[in-house]
Structure 1
């Protein structure tokens, strides 16, 4: 599910459907993007499943050559070129001390697809990015034993505050100066979540809104029920 609400995530002039939940699923987001493309006639200008082999700038135009899904070569020219390759397909992960002798499996989040793969396993999720926390929640109810390792403390923001999505609530208070927002919002989180060090989490070393927050309180639910345990940073790996 999205970590931003349907209210704040739709394109200008093309809001997400009213019957969508506050936080749409990945399938609903996909359907929304398709409907946007169809509504504005974009599909006729898009070539899918296409490999770009060569790009050249010549006499004020971009010359683009490539190969389509059927292996046929094509050549296009355009005044504009936007390269938005992203980084989602390339793993970025540290090498941990002792990893060469580790007998367990090391899996990057980009290769994680199915909670069933965690069934019967001892799972340690490293890091509290939003993807990591989501996977940790899967591990909490699927794995035999589940742990999450953090190097630092984070602020955990509920997806709903006073019954409204957190980003909608934030947008209504964006008139506040940042220091006042940090004071008010920080106090609100302490009131809602309490002292998270009681769950084994580290105390945040930064003020709320000064770093990307974790928009997930499901992880707190599992920590409070003992379905997952918080651990500090990893020093080294040894055996299994």
Structure 2
């Protein structure tokens, strides 16, 4: 790796850095998995992270009661299982501890507080040019990384998604996104409208009920709700086993039957099921079924109310799609996240406008010109771990070929990189 300093006409210092290997954008579980897999194959790399820590989503934007939804053996990263003393479903703190140990074990050393502004493939020199701003205020500096390969690991949940609902800006009570929610103890005795009925919406409603708040959960669309476990066995694990022997639609029927036996008829509670089965819907559109950990029981007991879509907000009330008016004290938007790739990656062939690869799983991990993506499978950490291994294998083969047969070419590229900043 080599670098060269130059000056910016706006007064910011600027450096140009040659990376003899890939640049990985993002130090979440996906980026760490790629880094560790490359480390195991002897390939140098640089991980860029806009925050001050690894896994910033988990460390700064998750609620206190969060646990992994799947058993730990399905959520481990390449090269390191979870400790035996961790629970079957690790807590948020357990998972952060695991990731920090993982980063230390593989000596990953991300470059923190470096926010990628743009990344573009330079056809002239056959290299990626990744521009970042490091630091802030008087200490801010621009850095341009030049590399042969670019790994996009910013994930599916890079930016909060806030819906445009009429009158929301006029509501006088507190309005927060789920990423800013920590605990229901702050809402004791309050009427809280939870907008969204995915895993986050269900769990936040459950947490609010546990802390003696009065949550109402907005269910706008149909949703599959499955028990997290059936007779002590993970529903996900059971589905994976059945998929080895049975067609997908038959597995879906079995899962729905088991769900009915465990949870009862949830449609009577206002939770309409989609016409497509849970696994079929997941594979077709990426919509994950809700794994229930107690919210359905709270709905059945009346401690969590289910309400239809919001029509508009007023100063202290909300009008629902069925015309009802409700008094509320606070709003929690469990409306999900989105990819931020369209804002910084200057590329149109591999990614869609929504920031997801155009090719569905399992083919959405590799693009052209040394571009890769990890963490966009809509299959959680297990999908990211699988893609990380594929990416590392692919880059390692190319890296050995280039370093073994074309060392002089690398020198030429470095000289060309220096000319870029003159």
Q: Which residue of 2 aligns with 1:195?
A: 265
Counterpart check, 1:14 vs 2:80:
yes
Q: Which residue of 1 aligns with 2:28?
A: none
Provide the secondary structure at the position in 1 that maps to 2:216.
strand
> Aligned in 2, Cα 1:53/1:184: closer, same or farther, shift over 3 Å?
closer
- How far apart, in 2, do the equivalents of 1:78 and 1:24 lie? 37
Provide the secondary structure at the position in 1 that maps to 2:197.
coil
Which has the larger Rg? 2
Give me the TM-score of the superposition, normalised by structure 1.
0.85
Contact 2:230 2:262 (8 Å CA) reproduced? no
Q: Which has the higher strand share?
A: 2
Q: Which residue of 2 aligns with 1:126?
A: 195
RMSD value, Cα: 2.5
Provide the secondary structure at the position in 1 that maps to 2:87.
coil
Contact 1:88 1:110 (8 Å CA) reproduced? no
How far residue 100 of structure 1 moved from its aligned partner, in angstroms, is 4.8
What pairs with 1:53-202 in structure 2 (closer than 5 Å)?
A: 53=117, 55=119, 57=122, 59-69=125-135, 71=140, 74-86=143-155, 88=157, 90-175=159-244, 176-198=246-268, 200-202=269-271
- How far apart, in 2, do the equivalents of 1:93 and 1:72 lie? 31
Q: Which residue of 2 aligns with 1:204?
A: 273
Q: Which residue of 2 aligns with 1:27?
A: 93
Give me the TM-score of the superposition, normalised by structure 2.
0.51
Q: Which has the higher relative contact order, 1 or 2, with Cα contacts under 8 A spaced 6 or more apart? A: 2
Gaps of 5+ in 2: 1-66, 282-287, 317-422
For these two proteins, the number of residue pairs brought into alignment is 237
- How far apart, in 2, do the equivalents of 1:132 and 1:222 lie? 13
Counterpart check, 1:48 vs 2:48:
no
How far residue 53 of structure 1 moved from its aligned partner, in angstroms, is 4.8
How far residue 123 of structure 1 moved from its aligned partner, in angstroms, is 0.4
> Aligned in 2, Cα 1:89/1:177: closer, same or farther, shift over 3 Å?
closer
Point out 4+ residue stretches in structure 1 off by more than 4 angstroms: 53-56, 72-75
